[in-house]
Chain A
């Protein structure tokens, strides 16, 4: 049945109050791109929709001691931010490949993460940028590292009465270069067959620190820790990168499956190829930034 209450609180406090009041009957809606499509596809509405679109305070991209991004920041804002493009390049890559301009104009970063699709285009980037997820609920504010945020397909640690308020990326990420590759059959309006994000820090030619994340490679977006461990301290060479790609594609790092969008073996191939390519791109971006 299609019917519901549609509540539009003016501030976070009110929103939290409404969530508490309506308990499990309530669903949060931000940009609504996931929520509205789901309503249409299932022909069912939640009993109460609590819209946080009006919470203008949660729409920001700031650099203070680190990078602070409000949950309601749209993908379009991320795409158009020079700061994000230059310093959080992987996130820029991911956000600017979400859906279409029309979708990016309303869809939010918070929504992308909270929806927790295995294919979420900002999940990989946030994983390699060491993001911290801030949530506010009746008990106050808490935060978890993004690596602990996803608990399953479409599942997160977020409680029903909590609102995700901010994504924080540590300031030291400034010294990393990063890149994200969305592998898909066409260039837009697509969910990825596979997503690969890499961030790394260089000391001379040595990879002093590195993160690799994969999406649609497991029930949740994951870090390829084994591949990272292998690369750390090695020189940036084809040999090392290719080996890291192989490790990332192995069962040590992911659990690839056949699905409608792609077959497991092919996903493995793409990881092998694109881990090195994204690492190279991340390194190039460091060089570019230095030369500026």
Chain B
């Protein structure tokens, strides 16, 4: 193992000093000349026919530049299943449907104009329960599909089904079985920076979109498709990220407000900004997808899992965004968390008149892992095996290929489970049911990209100027994960400069190469590998330049010395040491011969070589610039939903010790252990930050957070009512890092962005059971639910 100067070190985030001085420019802070402010009018019915919209008063208000309704813009369908239009013209299908939009010279005027629009509705029968919605007699949320064909049912045409092995035989072979129904609810991503964008057209109708998306090229794809239907075919779209105030899944899809900003800008020929306020963020931003699982498992006498059978119902809401695709990720823990040979998983997405859902950190995995890990505990109890032991028996191992055809390369699950056991003092504490309890849960997640589109590529370009500054043009989005620092470490290491020499440009499609998006915990892995590749190419160019320039510079230096000091005796130098690029290396801004790194004459500053290479004279100038497009040899899922979609997988286990107040149902977390297999900790301090943040969000998911939706309406659209945790809700977290260096990863690293969240809630649920003997199978685990269960138990 070569020793590294920067990789593996806790390099501070100095590169992001703008964020601690108020200088960082978020979408809120960005203004364009002549910019107008857009606002959206939402429906206040969950299902209704629009009888009339009166915009006359709004139009007359001074300062209003345009008012748009569904009548004013092309009737084009957008979204994952093309099941909605940008502004709704005839029918609204959810409480927050976009009905009209305004652009005005100030946000206040836009706001007032919105309040002046009068809409008349005729209420239609609505359905809010996915199980009701599946019934024959249920009102239909959509009458026709994207192609205009009549729909007969609220069930989406998304056949999420995975099957392997012989379920019938497996049931027969099982000595112990368990069956649980578990459910999860909507939670909001709670980015501290609310959603927003600025749409701006140039004179030739090319669009620049200042936007927080973390899939900048995916955005272009969707908008290009939209453009082709609204008369803007072939126009160029540029997406530029400002500094992003948190993402957590919200910036994956192209949301309706983004299309609305585009329409307002198109109409007014001015840049238009739409910026959500917090209430809108809670009300109109698609949250995490809720689901209900019925899960059965069986094992043999020794506790080896034989089968897992699970059916899930997902409340899709009125429209389809990424929430409906979360089963593709649910499939991963369902099929591959622990060794289980026979698996059946089916997920049904159902339209209702509720709000629709999308991605959130973990993307379906937290929901599914809650189901699997609840079931693991009930089955362990059935089989009379200690739950930790049960997990160890069934753990994944390096070299496994799972039923989903995931190839497990490195796997630290065993170490993680054992670390949790040890830190929690498990053997002593488990099984007492005396008001205190311990519980654990594990996870598997993609950690080396995720091939969900045909390319899972990531491009990086680097160039060096004649002062030794390195510009890195990153095709990903910096949403706070620390990539500027980590990528600067990697580039510094790979190129032989220092992190402070590296300057990063994130998120600009006009500059960057293609990227599949900063999602699926893939960024460090992908960008890291791409950076290493680009640096190798750039380094080769530099060293070629050095081979040309070094002898000249050295000889000139000697001559100069001689001129100054006639006594000076020129040394007899072996220029053979620096004759070939392969003989040279760069470290800490210096170029030197590999064979004699400390050679007194053959050590020259990188910047000097770059300068000499550029300023050589007629026809000879050279610059250094390299690019790498890294697309790993992974597979898309096939029609059977099988395929090795990631280069490597992250494993981990969370353990929790709780104290439950049996009189009030309140849960206090005494200790949370988060043990994670991270491949290699590129920057231990930043890595901890990812795990703390994710685990803490997981605690909220487990105990406090829920969007309360009543008849389709979000009832708690504020931080006061939505129970995200504060700094006072102390959860003592201890992180254990397991580093089974993964060959595919940059310097051995795996992705870590999402895993910390995934096993937290089920670990809490299992600990609550261990403390007081009641199992809460519906998130969040509120005191009310615990108290109700305790009363039932008595």
A binds B: yes
Residues of A bordering B, CB below 8 Å: 1-2, 43, 183, 185-191, 260-263, 266, 269-270, 273-274
Assess whether A189 is in contact with B664, with CB atoms less than 8 Å apart.
Answer: no
**Chain A residue at minimum C-beta to C-beta distance from B780:** A185
**Chain B residue at minimum C-beta to C-beta distance from A187:** B728
Assess whether B111 is in contact with A269, with CB atoms less than 8 Å apart.
Answer: no
11 more A-B residue pairs beyond the given contacts A1-B112, A266-B787, with a C-beta to C-beta distance below 8 A = A2-B108, A185-B723, A185-B783, A186-B704, A186-B725, A188-B728, A188-B729, A189-B720, A190-B723, A260-B716, A269-B787
Contact with A along B88-119 (1 / 0, CB 8 A): 00000000000000000000100110010000
In the complex, what residues of A have CB within 8 A of residue B783's CB?
Answer: 185, 266
Assess whether A188 is in contact with B726, with CB atoms less than 8 Å apart.
Answer: yes
What CA separation (Å) do A274 and B663 show in the bound complex? Answer: 10
Residue B202 at the A interface, CB < 8 A? no
Assess whether B782 is in contact with A185, with CB atoms less than 8 Å apart.
Answer: yes
**Chain B residue at minimum C-beta to C-beta distance from A189:** B726
Assess whether A266 is in contact with B729, with CB atoms less than 8 Å apart.
Answer: no
Residue B640 at the A interface, CB < 8 A? no
Query: What would be 13 A-B contacts, judged by CB atoms less than 8 Å apart?
Result: A185-B704, A185-B723, A185-B783, A186-B704, A186-B723, A186-B726, A188-B726, A189-B719, A189-B720, A260-B721, A266-B784, A269-B663, A269-B664
Which of these, B115, B716, B729, contacts A187 with CB under 8 Å?
A: B729
In the complex, what residues of A have CB within 8 A of residue B724's CB?
Answer: 186
In the complex, what residues of A have CB within 8 A of residue B112's CB?
Answer: 1, 43
**Chain A residue at minimum C-beta to C-beta distance from B721:** A260
Which of B704, B716, B719, B784 has the most C-beta atoms of chain A within 10 angstroms of its own C-beta?
B784
Give the size category of B's interface with A.
20 to 34
Assess whether A260 is in contact with B723, with CB atoms less than 8 Å apart.
Answer: no
Assess whether B663 is in contact with A273, with CB atoms less than 8 Å apart.
Answer: yes
Contact with A along B650-676 (1 / 0, CB 8 A): 000000000000011000000000000
In the complex, what residues of A have CB within 8 A of residue B704's CB?
Answer: 185-186
Residue B715 at the A interface, CB < 8 A? yes
Residue B622 at the A interface, CB < 8 A? no
Assess whether A262 is in contact with B784, with CB atoms less than 8 Å apart.
Answer: yes
In the complex, what residues of B have CB within 8 A of residue A2's CB?
Answer: 108
In the complex, what residues of A have CB within 8 A of residue B716's CB?
Answer: 260
What CA separation (Å) do A273 and B724 show in the bound complex? Answer: 26
Which of these, B664, B721, B729, contacts A273 with CB under 8 Å?
A: B664
Assess whether A263 is in contact with B729, with CB atoms less than 8 Å apart.
Answer: no
Assess whether A260 is in contact with B708, with CB atoms less than 8 Å apart.
Answer: yes
Which of these, A43, A191, A274, contacts B720 with CB under 8 Å?
A: A191
Which of these, A183, A187, A261, A263, contacts B721 with CB under 8 Å?
A: A261
In the complex, what residues of B have CB within 8 A of residue A191's CB?
Answer: 720
Which of these, A43, A261, A262, A263, contacts B111 with CB under 8 Å?
A: A43
What CA separation (Å) do A186 and B724 show in the bound complex? Answer: 8
What CA separation (Å) do A183 and B666 show in the bound complex? Answer: 10
The distance from the CB of A138 to the nearest CB of chain B, in whole angstroms, is 36
The distance from the CB of B31 to the nearest CB of chain A, in whole angstroms, is 21
The 7 closest A-B pairs by CB, nearest first: A187-B728, A188-B728, A188-B726, A273-B663, A266-B784, A185-B723, A187-B729
The distance from the CB of B786 to the nearest CB of chain A, in whole angstroms, is 11
The distance from the CB of A191 to the nearest CB of chain B, in whole angstroms, is 7
The distance from the CB of B696 to the nearest CB of chain A, in whole angstroms, is 12
Contact with A along B725-738 (1 / 0, CB 8 A): 11111000000000
The distance from the CB of B277 to the nearest CB of chain A, in whole angstroms, is 9
The distance from the CB of A260 to the nearest CB of chain B, in whole angstroms, is 5
The distance from the CB of A102 to the nearest CB of chain B, in whole angstroms, is 12
The distance from the CB of A208 to the nearest CB of chain B, in whole angstroms, is 28
Query: If the complex has contacts A1-B112, A43-B111, A269-B787, are A187 and B726 also in contact, measured as CB distance less than 8 A?
Result: yes
What CA separation (Å) do A107 and B531 show in the bound complex? Answer: 52
Assess whether A263 is in contact with B720, with CB atoms less than 8 Å apart.
Answer: no
What CA separation (Å) do A183 and B723 show in the bound complex? Answer: 14
**Chain B residue at minimum C-beta to C-beta distance from A262:** B784
Assess whether A186 is in contact with B729, with CB atoms less than 8 Å apart.
Answer: yes
The distance from the CB of A77 to the nearest CB of chain B, in whole angstroms, is 20
In the complex, what residues of B have CB within 8 A of residue A266's CB?
Answer: 783-784, 787
What CA separation (Å) do A2 and B107 show in the bound complex? Answer: 12
Which of A2, A185, A262, A266 has the most C-beta atoms of chain B within 10 angstroms of its own C-beta?
A185
In the complex, what residues of A have CB within 8 A of residue B723's CB?
Answer: 185-186, 190
What CA separation (Å) do A290 and B24 show in the bound complex? Answer: 55
The distance from the CB of B568 to the nearest CB of chain A, in whole angstroms, is 70
In the complex, what residues of A have CB within 8 A of residue B727's CB?
Answer: 188
In the complex, what residues of B have CB within 8 A of residue A1's CB?
Answer: 112
In the complex, what residues of B have CB within 8 A of residue A189's CB?
Answer: 719-720, 726
The distance from the CB of B778 to the nearest CB of chain A, in whole angstroms, is 15
Assess whether B664 is in contact with A270, with CB atoms less than 8 Å apart.
Answer: yes
The distance from the CB of A41 to the nearest CB of chain B, in whole angstroms, is 8
Which of B715, B716, B787 has the most C-beta atoms of chain A within 10 angstroms of its own C-beta?
B787
In the complex, what residues of A have CB within 8 A of residue B720's CB?
Answer: 189-191
In the complex, what residues of A have CB within 8 A of residue B787's CB?
Answer: 266, 269
**Chain B residue at minimum C-beta to C-beta distance from A1:** B112
In the complex, what residues of A have CB within 8 A of residue B719's CB?
Answer: 189
In the complex, what residues of A have CB within 8 A of residue B715's CB?
Answer: 260
The distance from the CB of A45 to the nearest CB of chain B, in whole angstroms, is 12
The distance from the CB of A47 to the nearest CB of chain B, in whole angstroms, is 17
What CA separation (Å) do A183 and B720 show in the bound complex? Answer: 14
B residues 63-88 in Cβ contact with A at 8 Å: none
What CA separation (Å) do A266 and B664 show in the bound complex? Answer: 8
The distance from the CB of B208 to the nearest CB of chain A, in whole angstroms, is 32
In the complex, what residues of A have CB within 8 A of residue B726's CB?
Answer: 186-189
What CA separation (Å) do A185 and B782 show in the bound complex? Answer: 8
In the complex, what residues of A have CB within 8 A of residue B782's CB?
Answer: 185
In the complex, what residues of A have CB within 8 A of residue B663's CB?
Answer: 269, 273
What CA separation (Å) do A187 and B719 show in the bound complex? Answer: 13
**Chain B residue at minimum C-beta to C-beta distance from A266:** B784
The distance from the CB of B127 to the nearest CB of chain A, in whole angstroms, is 22
What CA separation (Å) do A273 and B719 show in the bound complex? Answer: 28
Which of A2, A43, A189, A190 has the most C-beta atoms of chain B within 10 angstroms of its own C-beta?
A189
B residues 334-384 in Cβ contact with A at 8 Å: none
In the complex, what residues of B have CB within 8 A of residue A190's CB?
Answer: 720, 723
In the complex, what residues of A have CB within 8 A of residue B108's CB?
Answer: 2
What CA separation (Å) do A260 and B721 show in the bound complex? Answer: 9
The distance from the CB of B741 to the nearest CB of chain A, in whole angstroms, is 40
What CA separation (Å) do A43 and B112 show in the bound complex? Answer: 9
The distance from the CB of A176 to the nearest CB of chain B, in whole angstroms, is 26
In the complex, what residues of A have CB within 8 A of residue B721's CB?
Answer: 260-261
Assess whether B708 is in contact with A43, with CB atoms less than 8 Å apart.
Answer: no
The distance from the CB of B57 to the nearest CB of chain A, in whole angstroms, is 13
The distance from the CB of B772 to the nearest CB of chain A, in whole angstroms, is 15
**Chain A residue at minimum C-beta to C-beta distance from B114:** A43
In the complex, what residues of B have CB within 8 A of residue A270's CB?
Answer: 664
Assess whether B729 is in contact with A43, with CB atoms less than 8 Å apart.
Answer: no
What CA separation (Å) do A2 and B106 show in the bound complex? Answer: 13
In the complex, what residues of B have CB within 8 A of residue A186's CB?
Answer: 704, 723-726, 728-729
What CA separation (Å) do A186 and B730 show in the bound complex? Answer: 10
In the complex, what residues of A have CB within 8 A of residue B729's CB?
Answer: 186-188
**Chain A residue at minimum C-beta to C-beta distance from B787:** A269
Which of B708, B716, B728 has the most C-beta atoms of chain A within 10 angstroms of its own C-beta?
B728
The distance from the CB of A100 to the nearest CB of chain B, in whole angstroms, is 8
**Chain A residue at minimum C-beta to C-beta distance from B115:** A43
**Chain A residue at minimum C-beta to C-beta distance from B111:** A43
In the complex, what residues of B have CB within 8 A of residue A43's CB?
Answer: 111-112, 115
The distance from the CB of A98 to the nearest CB of chain B, in whole angstroms, is 12
**Chain A residue at minimum C-beta to C-beta distance from B664:** A273
What CA separation (Å) do A262 and B783 show in the bound complex? Answer: 10
**Chain A residue at minimum C-beta to C-beta distance from B791:** A269
**Chain A residue at minimum C-beta to C-beta distance from B727:** A188
In the complex, what residues of B have CB within 8 A of residue A273's CB?
Answer: 663-664
**Chain B residue at minimum C-beta to C-beta distance from A43:** B111
What CA separation (Å) do A56 and B651 show in the bound complex? Answer: 60
What CA separation (Å) do A9 and B115 show in the bound complex? Answer: 34
In the complex, what residues of B have CB within 8 A of residue A183's CB?
Answer: 664
